[in-house]
């Protein structure tokens, strides 16, 4: 269930940014896109907090140091750096959108769908 919540947070955050970009482009009011950067940042941080809590509980319940199968340790070592890179990129992107997202309206970007 927690894994589903984490994926839901990621997908929702990205969809909010996407649809706010489309709406801002349509309406010409880029404040909506700017605000979506804050939503992206907060949702990714929440997903990370849920993940950290999940790892902590798993390690405490299963005495991770003694009883974890070797393949679990390898999976954590393999996927943790990728997750850190993706989360860092999303948090930086959200911060940049929140800071400078309304400046896009100064340029003539008019996408017609």
Domain boundaries, the chain: 2-106
Cβ burial, residue 97 (10 Å; 0-12/13-18/19+): buried
pTM: 0.69
Q: For the chain, 113 residues long, give each residue's pLDDT as a single digit of tens.
A: 667 778 888 899 999 999 999 998 888 888 889 999 999 999 888 888 877 766 555 555 555 555 455 555 666 666 677 788 888 898 999 999 988 888 877 775 555 55
């Amino acid at each position: 269930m927690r894994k589903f919540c984490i994926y839901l947070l990621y997908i929702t955050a990205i969809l909010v940014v996407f649809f706010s970009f489309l709406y801002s482009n349509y309406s010409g009011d880029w404040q909506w896109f700017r605000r979506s950067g804050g939503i992206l940042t907060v949702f990714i941080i929440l997903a990370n907090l849920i993940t950290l809590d999940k790892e902590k509980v798993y390690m405490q319940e299963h005495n991770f140091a003694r009883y974890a199968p070797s393949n679990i340790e390898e999976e954590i070592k393999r996927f943790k750096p990728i997750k850190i890179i993706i989360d860092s990129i999303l948090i930086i992107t959200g911060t940049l959108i929140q800071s400078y997202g309304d400046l896009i309206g100064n340029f003539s970007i008019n996408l017609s769908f």
